[in-house]
Structure 1
Amino acid sequence: MTGNMIFKSVLIISLYTSIGSFAQSYDALDYLVLKTGDTLYGKIEYKKDTGVNYKYLNKIRLTNALGKQKRYKRDQVVAFSTNNFIYEGFWLNQESESLVLLNPRYEIDDKNGGYYFLKVMSKGTLSYYQLEWWEQGESLLMSMDLLKKEKDQFFIRATQGLFGLKRKVLSSYFNGCPSLAQKIQQKQLNQVFQVVDYYNNNCVK
């Protein structure tokens, strides 16, 4: 075998290795979990960005490493991961218009609710989620901070826009941990992550 042939062989092997590595990395980036329990890997598309109007797609699109795309109804998907964030699906009994209002409590209700994907910010005995949406005609992504204790079948809204923590709501929600409620009332904690970390490190028995 000549030196030129050896070079070509090495190049071809390197190319196939690179393609294989790319495919594995590609698959590892995104995934979705179906109600059936199956986990599928590939590129996830769940929103439409036209540069002017943004909206969530009616079906979650999964494109595998071979370029084959399949679509799944939103309520067929339990969770998905994309852009290094995990989104979990929940039936919430508020309509989208009501979700952005002042109601501090959102029940998990698969009979009367709508299906929403919540971004997982942190998981624990007290978990922190965000509900994201776009205002109609706007390109600015909005989000709502929600907290959920492990055994609760509802979420509590943790913040009120630019006004920061919903201190009365949170103080009541954490009345079983007086030290946390006091720190919230006295404004010693000002961020949702601070509340979550304190609860999980100091209030859980």
Structure 2
Amino acid sequence: MNYLVSLFPLILLCLLSTSKAMSQSQYLPGWVILASGDTLTGMVKDRKQTFTGPEIYHKIRFKGDQKKKRKKYRPEELAGYQINEVAYESVWLRPASSGIHLLNPYYESFPNAGDCVFLRVVSKGKLSHYQWEWADQSQVDSMDLFRRAGEPIFIRATQGILGLKRKQLTKFFTDCPSLQEKIQKKELTYAWEVTKYYNTHCQ
């Protein structure tokens, strides 16, 4: 009996975690922006929770109203979508140079070149911050990407648990010496801090 009592908090935590994950994979209020520019409001679903972990859809699901059947949209069919308060943009990406995909820091974005994917929008500005999400076993992982306004180049901002890709970011931000210095001196730790500094202090 005492053994069961001691296990109760752990069991409760597991149930709550599962409930939260399942709720995140249901249809939620949002909208989609078609490639034509038209916006459709309704219910959106972009992932599901399975017993082995999350699954992110390549084609998101959309319901305009309860009377209509759901419709699936590929990234190339949309300009973007929003689910609750989280926005995604459709972006064409391809590695900017040859090499190992996960180690390559640069990506190019040109229409119909490479793969069209959904990128989560973290913040927008002179320097925009995106996250490229994928399901990895029991969790959702993501890659932080930066893009300067009006430029076709994305740079990977972080390298997993190693944090900021300081050497590559220092080369990337030649237009802002003060930011280069802060990155080199490790005064900035997170990708969002880099974005905030650039948009506030860099021309």
Whether TM-score is above 0.5 comes out as yes
Identity score, percent: 41
- Give 4+ residue runs of structure 1 displaced > 6 Å after superposition: none
- How far did 1:100 drift? 5.9
Distance in 2 (CA, whole Å) between partners of 1:99 and 1:152 is 23
Distance in 1 (CA, whole Å) between partners of 2:79 and 2:112 is 16
Helix, strand or coil: the match of 1:47? Answer: strand
What are the within-5 Å matches in structure 2 for residues 1-205 of structure 1? 29-68=29-68, 69-94=70-95, 101-135=102-136, 138-204=137-203
Distance in 1 (CA, whole Å) between partners of 2:31 and 2:38 is 10
Helix, strand or coil: the match of 1:30? Answer: strand
Q: Do the aligned partners of 1:29 and 1:84 also contact (CA within 8 Å) in 2?
A: no
TM, length-normalised to structure 2? 0.78
- How far did 1:47 drift? 2.2
Distance in 1 (CA, whole Å) between partners of 2:91 and 2:55 is 19
Distance in 2 (CA, whole Å) between partners of 1:57 and 1:99 is 25
Distance in 2 (CA, whole Å) between partners of 1:53 and 1:193 is 27
Q: Do the aligned partners of 1:119 and 1:130 also contact (CA within 8 Å) in 2?
A: yes
Q: Structure 2: 5+ residue runs without aligned partners?
A: 1-27
TM, length-normalised to structure 1? 0.78
Q: 1:58 to 1:187 in 2, by over 3 A?
A: closer
Distance in 1 (CA, whole Å) between partners of 2:84 and 2:101 is 25
Counterpart for residue 15 of structure 1? none
Helix, strand or coil: the match of 1:141? Answer: strand
1:5-64 deviation line (CA, Å, top 9, x unaligned)? xxxxxxxxxxxxxxxxxxxxxxx9300000111100111122233232533334322113
Work out which of the two has the higher radius of gyration on C-alpha atoms and give 1 or 2: 1
- How far did 1:67 drift? 4.4
